[in-house]
Amino acid sequence: MSKKVVIVGGGIIGTMHAVLALQEGYSVVQCERDLTPLSASMRNFGLIWVSGREVGTELELALRAREIWGEVGAKVPATGFRANGSLTIARNAAEMQVLEEANSLPDAKSRGFSLLTRAETHALEPVLAGDFIGALRCTQDAAAEPQFLLSALRDFLKSNENYQWVPNFEAMDFTHNESGNHVTDVKGTTLSGDLVVFCPGAFHKGFLSTFFVDAPVRRVRLQMAATVPLPEKIGHSLADGDSLRYYPAFKDLSLSALPPQPQVAAENYMQLLLVQRLDGTLTIGDTHEYVEPFGYEITEAPYEHLSSVISAIFGTSAPAIARRWDGIYSQSTGSELYFRKTIAPGAVVITGGGGRGNTISPAIAEETMIQWR
Ligand X SMILES: Cc1cc2nc3c(=O)[nH]c(=O)nc-3n(C[C@H](O)[C@H](O)[C@H](O)COP(=O)(O)OP(=O)(O)OC[C@H]3O[C@@H](n4cnc5c(N)ncnc54)[C@H](O)[C@@H]3O)c2cc1C
Residue nearest to ligand X (CB): 357
Q: CA-CA-CA-CA torsion for 134, 138, 141, 145, nearest 10 degrees? A: 30
CA atoms within 13 A on the CB side of 103: 19
Rule CB under 6 A: say whether 80 interacts with ligand X.
no
For ligand X (CB under 6 A), the number of binding residues is: 42
Q: Which amino acid is at 285?
A: G
202 part of the interface to ligand X, by CB under 6 A: yes
Binding mask 328-367 for ligand X (x = CB under 6 A): xx---------------------x-xxxxxxx--------
Q: Which of residues 139-198 bind ligand X (CB under 6 A)?
A: 170-171
Distances (CA, A) of 36 to 24, 61, 102, 150, 168: 25, 28, 40, 9, 8
Cα separation, 86 vs 88, in Å, equals: 7
Tell me phi and psi for residue 53, to 5 degrees: -75, 145
Q: Assess 112 for contact with ligand X (CB under 6 A).
A: no
In whole angstroms, how close is the CB of 267 to ligand X at the nearest point?
A: 18
Which residues from 19-58 bind ligand X, rule CB under 6 A? 31-34, 37, 39-41, 43-47, 49
Element (H, E) at 14: helix 12-23
Q: Is 271 in the site for ligand X (CB under 6 A)?
A: no
Q: Do the Cβ atoms of 280 and 229 come closer than 8 Å?
A: yes
Give the C-alpha distances (Å, rounded to integers) separating 144 from 81, 110, 199. Answer: 4, 21, 20
* Widest CA span in the chain: 67
Contact letters for ligand X, residues 273-302 (x by CB under 6 A): ------------------------------
Smallest gap from Cβ 32 to ligand X, in A, equals 5
Give 113 or 203: the residue with its C-beta nearer to ligand X: 203
Residue 17 engages ligand X in binding (rule: CB under 6 A): no
State which of residues 14, 73, 241, 302 lies at the interface with ligand X (CB under 6 A).
14
Of 67 and 120, which has the nearer Cβ to ligand X? 67
- Return d(Cα 340, Cα 359) in angstroms, integer: 17
Rule CB under 6 A: choose which of 249, 327, 362, 367 binds ligand X: 327
For 205-250, what is the HEC assignment?
Answer: CHHHHHHHCCCCEEEEEEEEEEECCCCCCCCCEEECCCHHHHCHHH
Q: Does 85 bind ligand X (CB under 6 A)?
A: no
Give the nearest distance from C-beta 269 to ligand X in angstroms.
Answer: 13
Nearer to ligand X, 122 or 176 (CB): 176
Least distance CB 355 / ligand X (angstroms): 5
Closest CB to ligand X among residues 118, 219: 219
Taking the complex as a whole, the smallest distance from the CB of residue 345 to ligand X amounts, in Å, to: 21
Residue type, 11: G
User: What residues pair up with 258 in beta bridges, in sequence order?
Assistant: none
Q: Nearer Cβ to ligand X, position 79 or 351?
A: 351
| Positions 205 through 264 that interact with ligand X (CB under 6 A) | 206, 222, 224
Closer residue to ligand X, CB minimum distance, 153 or 253: 153
Virtual torsion, Cα 238, 244, 245, 248, nearest 10 deg: 110
d(CA 13, CA 153): 12
Binding footprint of ligand X on the chain (CB under 6 A)? 8-14, 31-34, 37, 39-41, 43-47, 49, 170-171, 199-203, 206, 222, 224, 327-329, 351, 353-359
